[in-house]
Structure 1
Amino acid sequence: MIRAALVWLMLAAPLAAQVTEPDGFRMDHYRDPVPETVAGGATISPEGAYQLWQDGAAFIDVLPHAPKPANLPKGTIWRDKPRHSIPGALWLPNVGYGALAEVTADYFRRGLTNATDADPSRPVVFFCLNDCWMSWNAAKRAADWGYSAVYWFPEGTDGWTFMDYPTEQVRPMAPQPSQ
């Protein structure tokens, strides 16, 4: 039985449909199979991500983050879901959607500037979870904005933790301070 299942898996794997890159950004179904490439960037494996991490590349986590609802009844306890990410990564939630509000695009630009020390040639790695189009969108957008050493890590923290690489709890980068 197990042998038959393994044979089926080996035969079915090549039949999996190849996902092609869209011309623009992915606008919905953000947790679906992703393409193997991203225009303007290089796709990396967990081992490649680990090497870039050791070499000091900037890492940007784009996993969405649900804010505390404004209309919670008085006395309701709210606990943010902790995010365990790649050590030193900058968490820029919600910047991987296909369409960004100008305030979110500005937040993303500010985060990129901070992460790369305003050097668009500094290696920067974008990630989320496995099969997450948000990291693909973010990598493509950074390349469109002129960043020249863009790396996309499609397996994200799922692939990172599978390899037993270290993680740490992160907090989202604060929004622009009020003036």
Structure 2
Amino acid sequence: MDETRGRRRGLDAARPVAPREPVARAATSDDLYDQVFGPDDITVIRHGVHGRLVDAGFTGDRLQAFVLAINEIITNVVLHAGGRGRIVVSRSGQSIWCTITDSGPGIPARFQHPPEVPDTFDVSGRGIWLAHRLCDEVSMATGPIGTTIGLRMACSAAHITSDLVNGASSGV
């Protein structure tokens, strides 16, 4: 059994699995968080992203929903895509974007579109489903050399705070 991909069957079992690093991307000034992660980093990433979003003024239930969606996708990378990935969280206009990239084998077709509600006793299939329910937009590019998932959460004035007097908000 290959520890990085779980049980392999058929022709895949004969192919050696070479560890690959996530694709590099140049950082920009709008990046709030940029980190390569592995199996031991899920909690660190979740707390790091949460802290950076709070520092950027993102608050409330939408903050919590976005962090949960991110946590689900990075957990999928660790469990199903070779164990290593890269996360970049950035602000663009009125939105916060999160891009998560891995070098895994690709996402099965049944999970590539907004999936149906998982059955009660299904042991997998909730991560992408939750991301679709929690985020304003989910995009996906996947294939045999890896996957990139984009998550977007719109920021309204009610969800972004500023240093203005009396708790006034700015529409960042």
TM-score range (shorter-chain normalised) is: under 0.3
Structure 2 length as normaliser, TM-score? 0.27
Higher relative contact order (CA 8 A, sep 6+): 1
Structure 1 length as normaliser, TM-score? 0.26
